[in-house]
Structure 1
Amino acid sequence: MSTAAAGPGRGPAAVAPGERGATRIADRVVAKIAALAAREVTGPLPEGAAPPYATVLVRNGAARVRVHIELGYPDDIGGRCGRVRRRVADRVRALTGLRVPEVVVQVERLHLTEASGAARGRTG
């Protein structure tokens, strides 16, 4: 009787954990995680705004992320981008185990909000 037929995890036919292989997470999966994380922070979108999307490059256990967002105006654009950057890095790291040395937030478009519409008519 052969010991190879003993089944997985039993006997000498078992493969050591370090030799079983590796899990590779596709760039597009990391991009979806990053886009969802950005949506968590940006809150409700201004009328006519596209939802955030991301592009990712994964190499050597690190993910370089570029997030594209549209924001309402006026707003604290720098503060909002900082929150998006931190949230994306944290979520990608937590869900994939990848290092995230770089998150670039690119504001594609600013949308005037209702609050700014009233201010637009003022002169002063």
Structure 2
Amino acid sequence: MPDTVVARIAARAAREALSRRGDGSPPRPGLGAPRATATVHNGSARLGVSLGLPYPVDIAGTCGEIRHYVADRVSYLTGMRVDTITVSVRRLVPDVSPRRGRVR
């Protein structure tokens, strides 16, 4: 399977993981779409995912949840073993809702 196809699947899985976070709030404007890269070799994949996160958030915990979700989805949908996933946070987007006030 081509690297670009696996990267698209990983980006989609990262989007799904962000939307499944469970707080019931809609996706925050300004987060942007997750991006992914993939290197496929002998039936296994190495992935890189970069994304924006809502703030405040447990960054390490959220990245761990995303890493596990993306690994499971990519493995399930492609049949490949996922050896490595690197999750990078591009930006943190503060909550500026009226109930919280402006976060600086």
Shorter-chain TM-score: what band?
Answer: 0.7 to 0.9
Indicate the structure (1 or 2) with the bigger Cα radius of gyration. Answer: 1
* RMSD value, Cα: 1.9
Amino acid at match of 1:118: G
Find out whether 1:40 has 2:16 as its counterpart: yes
- TM-score scaled by length of structure 2: 0.84
Question: Where does the alignment leave 5 or more consecutive residues of structure 2 unmatched?
Answer: 20-25
Tell me: higher relative CO, structure 1 or 2? Use CA pairs within 8 A at least 6 residues apart: 2
Residue aligned with 1:41, SS: helix
| 4+ runs deviating over 6 angstroms | none
Q: Which has the higher strand share?
A: 2
| Structure with more helix by fraction | 1
Query: How far does residue 46 in structure 1 lie from its aligned partner after superposition?
Result: 2.0
CA deviation profile, 1:25-78 (whole Å, cap 9, x unmatched)? 111110111011111111243212211110000012110000011011111111
Query: Structure 1 stretches of 5 or more lacking a match?
Result: 1-24
**Share of identical aligned residues, percent?**
46
Report if the CA contact (8 A) 1:56-1:65 is conserved.
Answer: yes
Paired residues, number: 97
